[in-house]
């Protein structure tokens, strides 16, 4: 695992762009021991303009200006203990942030940054934190409801990297983060999924979310074509 940053260390990333009402997302890249891995941060604005930052990435000055104009930083979600890289730097920059983590990952995340809660109340019925069943409480998700539909924000549970080539692409496909379809990566199944039946039930429950428009994943492209079918196919892969 890459060593967490104490300071604001900007790595390559794209533009912070809108994906729905009150939602921004940005993709960056991180050099792992054997490959360059795409990673994604998502920002959700609550009804009172407070911001929820999901899987934080240190961004350049222009992107941070866009972020700060979007609302007031209030919550920092570290969705599992593999996504701690920039958590401390964000907390140092915005000391008022309330740090959120799933209960099973709390200990390792707390080695880097103090965790305030594992069961947050955002004060907004349109945004719900979920500790994902079947993962020993090590993985989190968000359900974001908007007038135009619902967005499911996942983390490592689903990989959807499409533009993968060369040695990096081969390794990402081998791990299961890249491919022709969204999938539960092989390495995640081995390390994270401990009760496939419970996880399968959760995927099927999410497939019934009213007005589900998209799934955002931390590694890969947002899934906006038939997200319900994608969730059912992922559930079937666990049967």
Quote the number of domains for the chain: 1
Residues whose CB is less than 8 angstroms from the CB of residue 58 and which lie 6 or more positions away in sequence, other chains included:
5, 8, 9, 10, 11, 86, 89, 90
Residue 6, domain member (yes or no): no
Residue 202, domain member (yes or no): yes
pLDDT of residue 31: 79
pLDDT (average), residues 24-45: 87
Mean pLDDT of the chain: 92
> Residue 2: is its pLDDT beyond 70?
no
The span from the CA of 72 to the CA of 42, in Å, is 15
The CATH number linked to 31 is 3.60.15.10
Written as six digits, the tokens of 63 are 């992107």
pLDDT of residue 26: 98
pLDDT of residue 6: 86
> Residue 168: is its pLDDT beyond 80?
no
Residues whose CB is less than 8 angstroms from the CB of residue 83 and which lie 6 or more positions away in sequence, other chains included:
39, 55, 155, 156, 218
Encode pLDDT of 96-153 as tens digits.
999 999 999 999 999 999 999 999 999 999 999 999 999 999 999 999 999 999 999 9
Look up the domain containing 193 and give its range: 17-236
Residue 9, domain member (yes or no): no
Residue 28, domain member (yes or no): yes
Encode pLDDT of 45-90 as tens digits.
999 999 999 999 999 999 999 999 999 999 999 999 999 999 999 9
Residue 7, domain member (yes or no): no
């Amino acid at each position: 695992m890459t060593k967490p940053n104490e300071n604001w260390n900007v790595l390559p990333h794209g533009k912070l762009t809108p994906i729905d009402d009150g939602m921004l997302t940005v993709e960056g890249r991180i050099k792992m021991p054997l490959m360059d891995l795409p990673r994604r941060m998502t920002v959700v604005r609550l009804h009172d303009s407070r911001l929820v930052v999901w899987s934080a990435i240190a961004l350049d000055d222009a992107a941070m200006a866009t972020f700060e104009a979007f609302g007031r930083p209030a919550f920092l979600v570290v969705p599992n203990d593999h996504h701690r890289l920039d958590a401390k730097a964000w907390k140092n920059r915005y000391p008022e942030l309330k740090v959120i983590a799933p209960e099973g990952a709390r200990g390792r995340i707390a080695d880097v940054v103090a965790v305030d809660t594992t069961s947050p109340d955002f004060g907004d019925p349109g945004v719900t934190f979920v500790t994902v069943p079947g993962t020993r409480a090590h993985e989190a998700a968000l359900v974001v409801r908007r007038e135009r539909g619902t967005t499911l924000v996942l983390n490592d549970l689903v990989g959807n990297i499409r533009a993968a080539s060369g040695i990096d692409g081969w390794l990402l496909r081998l791990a299961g983060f890249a491919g022709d379809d969204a999938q539960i990566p092989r390495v995640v199944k081995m390390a994270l999924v401990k009760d496939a039946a419970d996880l399968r039930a959760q995927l099927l429950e999410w497939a019934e979310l009213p007005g589900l428009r998209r799934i955002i994943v931390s590694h890969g492209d947002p899934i906006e074509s038939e997200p319900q079918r994608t969730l059912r196919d992922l559930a079937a892969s666990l049967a």
